[in-house]
Amino acid sequence: MMIEKILVDKTIKAVSKLYSKNISSEFITVEKTNKDFEGDFTIVVFPLLKFSKKSPEETAKEIGNYIKSDVKEIQNFNVIKGFLNFVINDKFWLDFFKNNISNEHYGFKKPKKTKPVIVEYSSPNTNKPLHLGHIRNNLLGYSLSEILKANGKNVIKINLINDRGIHICKSMLAWLKWGDGETPESTGIKGDHLLGKYYILFDKKNKEEIRDLVLKGSTEDEAEKNTSLMIEAQEMLRKWENADEEILDLWKLMNSWALKGFDKTYKRLGIDFDKINYESKTYLQGKALVKKGVENGCLLQKEDGSVWADLTEEGLDEKLLLRKDGTSVYITQDLGTAYRRYNEFYPEKIIYVVGNEQIYHFNVLKLVLKKLEEDWADKIMHLYYGMVELPHGRMKSREGTVVDADDLMDEMYETAKKTTEELGKIDSFPKEEADKLYHIVSMAALKYFILKVDPKKNMLFNPEESIDFNGNTGTFIQYTYARIQSIIRKAGKEYVNNSINGFPENFTLLKKEKEILKLLYEFPGVVEQAGENYSPAIIANYVYELVKEYNQFYQEIPILKNVDKEISDFRVALSEFTGNIIKKSMNLLGIEVPDRM
């Protein structure tokens, strides 16, 4: 049983015995002891004063004496005002160490045969390459999936490809008009980048038309709706939805370019999925749901043929679901996608990892599903995240001011290579091994820098700050892990794992050793907390604290030299345990850790 649970149970018994009151655990808070005071765990006694009718200090002392007499793990306690601080004895920490150092599953819960949790992330449009915002999305979705699995959840990772709609038609139309038949093969341009080129070109040409119409007397709003390019794009979408063979062939060709490009980016980023969905295969289901809603009278069809959901009673507005020409909009296909997913998997939860600019969209999605009497609508959760900004400002896809994911990874690789070579620590590495290391280091720098920030916060990404061997970075954590592996290699065959041999009766832990053990003890709770809060940042900040503590230990305390063998063996074993938890933590973030660097 976890020591925190023991302390809670004993506190309940203490209040019953000392004050003749039966209380529940909700009155008891167990915290880590403030580093300024002696102790490992602290009980806050202020909520208990209503039962004791005594001062905070007297109440804490009475409860402390009762618990100490009944819990063999407690060495002593002290009272600071209303805070009861317990010191846990070395035997407890050493027993914890021996029982868990060889436990491969330590910190992770057994997989449960329960209804699945669906996590949808990435969701790219097939008219442009992935950019920095997509990177945050992918990293959050993948890491969250791994964290939920570590909490015993049955997770299905899904990528919904946005492969239809007016934005796709814009790229197709621009390529038809100005592409002159060029392909990824003929240009040497990655397929998704080639489509992005024509998406930007469409926007440029369309804006020129808008300016001309405004000069001729149209309002800005009128001009935006009536450019010849926009009218042609809308006609192309109408033909697509009516299965025009020529348009479908062009769509299939250009989509294939984008999908091949995405696959290369995902592989490089270390991201994968269990299932791929395509909006082109779900929008019809959405249209069917909308038409059923009209028949049932819960949705409104206007005179022009368009269909709307009236959400004014829910505090929102009217939401368009089908255009007057019968073509669908984003929300329509999301209705179809959600419906199909629920009826395929009957999940415990459907989590959409999508930016915070779509909060309104997902509120509407749930409300429309409820209007359609789909009682599972509350299983939908929008895990939103803040925008990623760069030192020079926000990104805009149509204007070509985005930072492409591929370009950013190239820059990260070159920065990792330069930084690592300047340190001169891998001069003996063969080229292939060095190249692999540069990739691992660059991905760690990128992923950790993004994931250490709470998902709901906006963030500023600075590539130069993300690779630092001495800061709160993935590189610093990787370097510490490699240092530990070097210690284990040096210990060699002479190293005897004290988790097997046990410890002498008089074995005493140093303060730094105990601090590391306390952090290792916290790992299962940290994994659980990260799952409950849907936040990889909790894992990232935990592993950084562990690495900081270990490096202080490494700098101040000898491990292999000038100590007795049994002490050396313990410190090597403690290092190994620490390395294992670093690796597990980083893997939950989708980050590799190298044995040498």
In DSSP notation, 397-452 reads TTTT---BHHHHHHHHHHHHHHHHHHHTS-TTS-HHHHHHHHHHHHHHHHHHHHHT
Confidence bin at 399 (pLDDT 50/70/90): very low
pTM of the model: 0.91
The secondary structure of residue 353, as a DSSP letter, is: E
- Cα–Cα separations (whole angstroms), residue 10 to 14, 41, 68, 281: 6, 14, 10, 58
pLDDT above 90: residue 290: yes
> How far apart, in whole angstroms, are the C-alpha atoms of residue 23 and residue 20?
10
Token code pair at residue 216? 């001729």
**CA angle in degrees (0–180, nearest 5) for 308-309-312:** 125
Q: What is the three-class DSSP state of 156?
A: strand
Strands 307-310 and 300-301: antiparallel
Listed in sequence order, the DSSP H helices in 297-356 are 330-345
> How far apart, in whole angstroms, are the C-alpha atoms of residue 24 and residue 517?
30
Residues for the chain: how many in total? 597
Q: At 476, which amino acid appears?
A: F
Confidence bin at 506 (pLDDT 50/70/90): confident
Confidence bin at 494 (pLDDT 50/70/90): low
pLDDT for the residue numbered 400: 46
Q: What is the three-class DSSP state of 249?
A: helix
> How far apart, in whole angstroms, are the C-alpha atoms of residue 398 and residue 255?
18
Residue pair 538/526 in contact (Cβ under 8 Å)? The answer is yes
Quick one: which of 144, 110, 107 has its CA closest to 581? 107
In order, the DSSP letters of 516-529 are: HHHHHHHHHHHHHH
Tens of pLDDT, residue by residue over 168-195, are: 999 999 999 999 999 999 999 999 999 9
Strands 155-161 and 275-278: parallel
User: Would you say domain 406-588 falls under CATH 1.10.730.10?
Assistant: yes
Tens of pLDDT, residue by residue over 227-265, are: 999 999 999 999 998 999 999 999 999 999 999 999 999
The secondary structure of residue 131, as a DSSP letter, is: B
> How far apart, in whole angstroms, are the C-alpha atoms of residue 359 and residue 316?
13
pLDDT averaged over every residue in the chain: 92
Return the axis-axis angle of helices 330-345 and 283-296, rounded to nearest 10°: 100
Domain ranges of the chain: 3-88, 406-588
Q: Which residues contact 373 (CB under 8 A, 6 or more apart)?
A: 296, 298
Q: Which long-range contacts (CB under 8 A, 24 or more apart) does 370-379 make?
A: 371/293, 371/298, 371/299, 371/309, 372/289, 372/292, 372/293, 372/296, 372/298, 372/299, 372/335, 373/296, 373/298, 374/339, 374/342, 376/342, 379/342, 379/347, 379/348, 379/349, 379/350
Residue pair 325/335 in contact (Cβ under 8 Å)? The answer is no
pLDDT above 90: residue 486: yes
Token code pair at residue 260? 């091949």
- In degrees and rounded to multiples of 5, residue 155 shows phi and psi of -105, 135
Tens of pLDDT, residue by residue over 96-150, are: 999 999 899 999 999 988 999 999 999 999 999 998 889 999 999 999 999 999 9
Confidence bin at 309 (pLDDT 50/70/90): very high
pLDDT above 50: residue 543: yes
Q: At 375, which amino acid appears?
A: D
Percentage of residues in the chain with pLDDT exceeding 70?
95
Query: How many angstroms separate the most distant Cα atoms in the chain?
Result: 93
pLDDT for the residue numbered 579: 97
- Mean pLDDT of all residues in 305-315: 94
Confidence bin at 505 (pLDDT 50/70/90): low
The superfamily CATH assigns to domain 3-88 is: Arginyl tRNA synthetase N-terminal domain (3.30.1360.70)
pLDDT for the residue numbered 398: 43
